[in-house]
Amino acid sequence: MPEDTRERILEAACDLIAAEGIDEVRIARVAMRAGASTALVHHYFSTREELLEQALLHSFELAGDERFGGSDEEGAKATARLAAAVEECLPQEGRLERGWVLWVELWLRAARDPELRPLAAELYRRYREWLSGVIEAGVESGEFRAPTDLGDLVDRATGLLDGTGLRALLRDPAMDIDRARHLAAELLGSELGVEPEELIAPRGALG
């Protein structure tokens, strides 16, 4: 199916970006990895830059769907949903680490290329919107205390997750993923009136 082919091409591009860096990715190599012809890749993406931009969007949207897609499940507690959100925002081995490497590639390119900055800003807007939604659901259900300024809290939480997550990705011995998740839980718990331990997902919760 056409949508399956497009997604296969985007996944191949994401894999190559994560493994070798965005500047090294070429249409021919993406086509080979996806098991497609270069003509087919060009059918979906007119330029290399369009392919790379769409690959970054694909990665972020996939992570977002997995991160918060189940947040409206009947009976799910807001504390558990927020704990899962924190867990999904950290660079754990596998798909989450790949997503983080793609984020870093986007940060570096956007820092040098003003044309990519609107894309980075849009991805952060969606990120903040998703996290805000999880918190708002907890406030509405009565599980969370309403923060004084939701936007400020989300900015501080994303800033903390970005900073500690990057250090964990770089294998900083002073900041592993466990410490990063505890710092995030302490920040969010103190603002939302819940014990930080409630915002730490059980081990193995992500499968």
Note whether residue 11 is domain-resident: no
- pLDDT class for 1, splitting at 50, 70, 90? low
Tell me if 144 sits within 8 A of 138, measured CB to CB: yes
This prediction's pTM: 0.79
Residue 74 in this model has a pLDDT that exceeds 60: no
Q: Is 168 within a domain?
A: yes
Average pLDDT over every residue of 103-128 = 87
CATH for 99? 1.10.357.10
In a domain, 43, yes or no: no
User: What DSSP line would sit under 63-90, residue for residue?
Assistant: HHHHHHTTTT-TT--HHHHHHHHHHHTS
Domain residues for the domain of 154 are: 53-199
Query: Of 56, 64, 188, which is closest to residue 126 (Cα–Cα)?
Result: 64
Distance, in Å, from the CA atom of 189 to the CA atom of 155, rounded to the nearest integer, reads 15
pLDDT by residue (tens digit) across 129-180? 989 999 999 999 999 999 999 999 999 999 999 999 999 999 999 999 999 9
Domains contained in the chain, number: 1
